[in-house]
């Protein structure tokens, strides 16, 4: 499989009055062509920060301290703003978290399409714009005649999410990144969006990277799952493998907590304890205060991400040479 995007040792922080929030700490992963990768973790674990650092869209108090993001032989973190502009949307498009709120309530949907091409220096005629926007709106299974002339407030949450996906597809990117594409939607609408993304991936040969706090959504759509805990990547695995055989104690807890509805409730264990503060994260393994299998070394030494024979990569001392995790 062809590696399309390679993130190595990415480190990003936020500057706040009290110090620095260590939101992305030494995160590395690879994205393969025509696959869907899910970045999964609980709220405030640093999922959006990874996406924003990769795409250089961090808020003003965010800083990238280290790392590379390789795409087609270039480091996206090093290229000029001008070069980045040629890659954004045309090669890599992003639908940020809560993007629905960024739709301008005073502008019709077609005007959002016009703004997008203008922002990228493209001069299509009015007819061409309408034709291309209609094509994308149809692709997300909406009716262009009504939707393009509607104002955002006339559309439901699910329709707005489809419009945002259509907008992101306008310049036919190779990689589509979506931050929480299904949150804040009802269960049925969520299922439709997941179905739509599956269909787009198949039809357009597009590569998807999406963020979700819901591992069940990841299970539906992703080929590979990256589990984030406290700003660190703790497990990276093919989806089937992660459900069959989760390795990291945190991943096991996550999977356990969704063995829902038909499972024997007495066997379901929520993960005890609270997520770590990223202002003063725990030393060594950031999961150690919550881990039932904690050892002395875990409090002192951060576990490296190691590759196991199953294809899984895991950052846990239990799986290092001589460990007894496998």
Q: Which partner in Mg ion, ligand ATP, ligand SF4, none is near 306 (CB below 5 to 8 A by kind)?
A: none
Which token pair is 36? 């869907």
Q: What binding mask, one character per residue, do residues 96-125 give for Mg ion by CB under 5 A, x or -?
A: -x----------------------------
Q: Which partner in Mg ion, ligand ATP, ligand SF4, none is near 152 (CB below 5 to 8 A by kind)?
A: none
Identify the CA nearest to 236 among candidates 33, 14, 40.
40
Q: Which partner in ligand SF4, Mg ion, ligand ATP, none is near 285 (CB below 5 to 8 A by kind)?
A: ligand SF4
CA distance 174 to 90: 8
Stretch that binds Mg ion, among 10-18, 95-103, 200-208, 264-272 (CB under 5 A): 95-103
Which token pair is 293? 């299998």
Q: How far is the CB of 307 from ligand SF4 (least distance, A)?
A: 16
Q: Which is nearer to ligand SF4, 200 or 305 (CB)?
A: 305
Instruction: Return residues touching ligand ATP (CB under 6 A).
Output: 14, 16, 21, 23, 41, 43-49, 59, 61, 97, 213, 278
Q: Which is nearer to Mg ion, 48 or 239 (CB)?
A: 48
Q: Which is nearer to Mg ion, 56 or 252 (CB)?
A: 56
CA-atom Rg of the chain in angstroms: 21
By CB under 5 A, is residue 293 in contact with Mg ion?
Answer: no
Q: Are 117 and 199 in contact (CB under 8 A)?
A: no
By CB under 5 A, is residue 189 in contact with Mg ion?
Answer: no
Three-state secondary structure call for residue 151 = coil
CA distances from 326 to 192, 238, 320, 323 (A): 38, 17, 9, 8
Q: Which is nearer to ligand ATP, 46 or 152 (CB)?
A: 46
CA distance 66 to 282: 21
Centre a 10 Å sphere on the Cβ of residue 198 and count the other Cβ atoms it contains. Answer: 14
Q: Which partner in ligand SF4, ligand ATP, Mg ion, none is near 96 (CB below 5 to 8 A by kind)?
A: none
266: Cβ contacts below 8 Å, ≥ 6 apart: none
CA distance 196 to 97: 18
Q: Are 222 and 36 in contact (CB under 8 A)?
A: yes
Q: How far is the CB of 236 from ligand ATP (least distance, A)?
A: 16
Q: Which partner in ligand SF4, ligand ATP, Mg ion, none is near 16 (CB below 5 to 8 A by kind)?
A: ligand ATP
Which token pair is 166? 């259509």
Q: Are 220 and 240 in contact (CB under 8 A)?
A: no
| Residue of 24, 48, 161, 251 interacting with Mg ion (CB under 5 A) | 48
């Amino acid at each position: 499989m062809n590696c399309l995007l390679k993130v190595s040792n990415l480190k990003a922080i936020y500057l706040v009055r009290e110090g620095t929030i260590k939101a992305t700490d030494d995160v590395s992963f690879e994205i393969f062509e025509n696959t869907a990768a899910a970045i999964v973790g609980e709220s405030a674990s640093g999922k959006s920060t990874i996406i924003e650092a990769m795409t250089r869209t961090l808020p003003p108090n965010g800083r990238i301290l280290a790392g590379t993001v390789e795409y087609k032989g270039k480091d996206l973190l090093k290229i000029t703003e001008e070069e980045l502009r040629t890659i954004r949307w045309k090669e890599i498009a992003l639908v940020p978290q809560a993007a629905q709120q960024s739709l301008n309530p005073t502008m019709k949907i077609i005007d959002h399409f016009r703004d997008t091409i203008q922002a990228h220096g493209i001069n299509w005629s009015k007819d061409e714009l309408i034709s291309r926007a209609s094509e994308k709106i149809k692709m997300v299974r909406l009716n262009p005649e009504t939707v393009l002339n509607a104002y955002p407030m006339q559309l439901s949450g699910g329709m707005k999410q489809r419009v945002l996906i259509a907008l992101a597809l306008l310049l036919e990117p190779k990689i589509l990144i979506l931050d929480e594409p299904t949150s804040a939607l009802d269960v049925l609408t969520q299922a439709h969006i997941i179905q739509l993304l599956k269909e787009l991936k198949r039809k357009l040969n597009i590569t998807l990277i999406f963020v979700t706090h819901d591992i069940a959504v990841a299970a539906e759509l992703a080929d590979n799952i990256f589990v984030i805990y406290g700003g660190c990547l703790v497990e990276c695995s093919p989806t089937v493998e992660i459900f069959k055989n989760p390795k990291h104690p945190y991943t096991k807890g996550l999977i356990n907590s969704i063995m829902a509805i038909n499972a024997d409730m007495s066997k379901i264990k929520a993960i005890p304890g609270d997520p770590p503060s990223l202002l003063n994260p725990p030393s060594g393994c950031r999961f150690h205060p919550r881990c039932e299998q904690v050892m002395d070394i875990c409090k002192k030494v951060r576990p490296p991400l190691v590759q196991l024979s199953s294809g899984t990569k895991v950052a846990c001392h239990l799986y290092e040479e001589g460990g007894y995790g496998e």
